[in-house]
Amino acid sequence: MVHDQRSALSSYINRLLSLGRTVFTAEDALIEIGVSRGAFLDAAERLQRRGSILSPRQGFYVIVPPQFASWGAPPPAWYIDALMHHIGEAYYVGLLKAAELHGATHQAVMEFQVISSKRLSKIRAGRSLITFYYRKDLEAVVAGIEDRKTDTGKMKISSPALTALDLLRYPQASGGIDNVATVLSDLSSKIDADQLSDLSVVMERPIIQRLGYLMDWLGHGQIATQMHNTLLSRGVPRWTHLDRKAALDLDFATELQERNNRWRVQVHRIPEIDE
């Protein structure tokens, strides 16, 4: 009987793969194969031990196609949209992963970084690590979210403009100011100045100041001009540090390399770009 239940689930999985689908929910499977919930869970657990499926969240399953057996899971891009729909939270793929998708990265991105409207724990899916970063006002930046086609459908990613702002908003996820500057050296030319200005309305002013300084420093100040006007329309900002970590470092905190009046940014250490 147990073999029949596992066989029924395996047949269902193979049928989904033949249709180009790589995800399913427990509810979907229960309807299709007509077994009890307990029997389904037993069969699913056995298939998980065999590496045929994985369950990144309760009730949600990802099929592992044969070509990804050694990886333990297909790429997160194949199922992130379905997963977030299952969880019921808005999201977009962002930060260094989005920069990579826009062709702006100098090294492999180790995490699949997702901005979500709810605090979520990390997911280890085979070789991939899906890391979530929280944005309470995700709806406020919807103008900077794009749909990107994937091998199995689509997913939402941040535009170059939103990606640039987020790299400064989430420094812990961006690899430090040197890495941010390196990524921006490639990403800047792809940023839409109008969208950057519009998004700046809902961004914290220190984020705008730091990005503006870096855009000027990289030779893309013309793209940031409208963003600068938006910044000043909100009043003269307070002085801020380009890199808060450097400002706290005893080797740099006692002296300034630059005090930029245009963006009101204090620079304790000039960034270094990885060529």
* Least confident among 15-24, 65-74, 83-92, 241-250: 241-250
**What distance in Å separates the CA atoms of residue 50 and residue 86, rounded to the nearest whole number?**
24
Dist. CA 201–CA 141, nearest whole Å: 10
Which amino acid, residue 136? K
The three-state secondary structure class of 210 is helix
Contact 267, 217 (CB under 8 A): no
- Who's near 117: CB < 8 A, 6+ residues apart? 89, 90, 91, 134, 135, 136, 138, 139
Token digits of residue 58: 């309760």
What pLDDT does 250 receive?
53
State how far the alpha carbon of 115 is from the alpha carbons of 29, 51, 59, 95, 174, in Å. Answer: 29, 28, 22, 8, 13
In the chain, the N- to C-terminal Cα span, in Å, equals 61
Is residue 159 within 8 Å of 146, Cβ to Cβ? Answer: yes
pLDDT score of 6: 57
pLDDT band at 109 (very low <50, low <70, confident <90, very high): confident
Domain boundaries, the chain: 2-69, 78-267
The stretch 28-36 carries a mean pLDDT of 90
Task: Tell which wins on pLDDT, 162 or 7.
Answer: 162
Closest CA to 9 of 47, 49, 55, 51: 47
CA geometry: angle 269, 270, 275, nearest 5 deg? 130
| Token pair 């990144």 in the structure block, residue | 56
User: What CATH code is assigned to 2-69?
Assistant: 1.10.10.10
Q: Say if residues 259 and 267 touch (Cβ distance below 8 Å).
A: yes
According to the model, what pLDDT value does residue 87 have?
A: 96
Alpha-carbon dihedral sign for residues 80, 84, 87, 91: positive
Please name which of 192, 193, 180, 185 lies closest in space to residue 242, comparing C-alpha atoms. Answer: 180
Q: What is the pLDDT of residues 205-260, one digit of tens each?
A: 999 999 999 999 999 989 999 999 999 999 999 999 999 876 565 565 567 889 99
pLDDT at 2: 47
| Contact in structure between 155 and 77 (CB atoms under 8 Å) | yes
